[in-house]
Chains A and B, each alone.
Chain A
Amino acid sequence: MTLKHLKFEEISDLLDNELSDQEKEQCLSHITVCEVCGQEFDSLSKCLTLLSSLKNECIVIPDFSERTIMICRSREKKRLFLKAVPAIAASVIIIFGAGFIRTGLFNESGSYVAANLTGHNETQKIIETVSNSNGRIIQITQAYIDGEFDKNSVAAIKRVLQKNKIKHAFIVNSGMLVNPAAGRMEDVGFTLGSASVSLNNDENQNYASIESDKVRMRIFK
Chain B
Amino acid sequence: MSPINDIEIINRVIEGDKEAFSQIVQKYQNMVFKYVYYQFNNYDEALDITQDIFITVMEALQSFRQESKFSTWLYSIMVNHCKNYRKKMNRYSTVSLKVMKGEDEVDLQLQDYRENPEDKVVNEDSIRIIKEEISKLPEDFKDILTLRDIDGLSYNEISEILDINLSNVKVRIHRGREYLKNRLHARGLI
Residues of A within 8 A of B (CB): 8-9, 12-18, 21, 24, 43-57, 59, 61-69, 71-73, 75
Contact = CB atoms under 8 A, between A and B. Distances in A.
Contact of A44 (B51, B120, B127, B177): B177
B90 interface: no
A68 to B, nearest CB: 4
A67 B58 CA distance: 12
Nearest to A40: B181
Contacts of B149: 48, 51-52
Given A17-B112, A59-B34, A53 B50 contact: no
Given A8-B174, A12-B173, A43-B181, A53 B21 contact: no
Interface stretch (B24-32, B66-74, B80-88, B92-100): B24-32
B106 interface: yes
A168 B134 CA distance: 94
B55 A50 contact: no
Contacts of B131: 54
A72 B189 contact: no
A72 B55 contact: yes
Q: How extensive is the interface on chain B, given as a class?
A: 35 or more
B126 interface: yes
A104 to B, nearest CB: 49
Contacts of B25: 63-65, 68
- Of the candidates A8, A43, A49, the one having the most CB atoms from chain B within 10 angstroms of its own CB is A49
B122 A50 contact: yes
A15 B113 contact: yes
B40 interface: no
Nearest to B131: A54
Contact of A59 (B18, B37, B174): B37
Contacts of A59: 30, 33-34, 37, 43
17 contacts: A13-B170, A15-B113, A15-B114, A17-B107, A18-B155, A18-B170, A43-B190, A44-B177, A53-B122, A54-B130, A55-B150, A61-B29, A64-B29, A65-B26, A66-B22, A71-B55, A72-B55
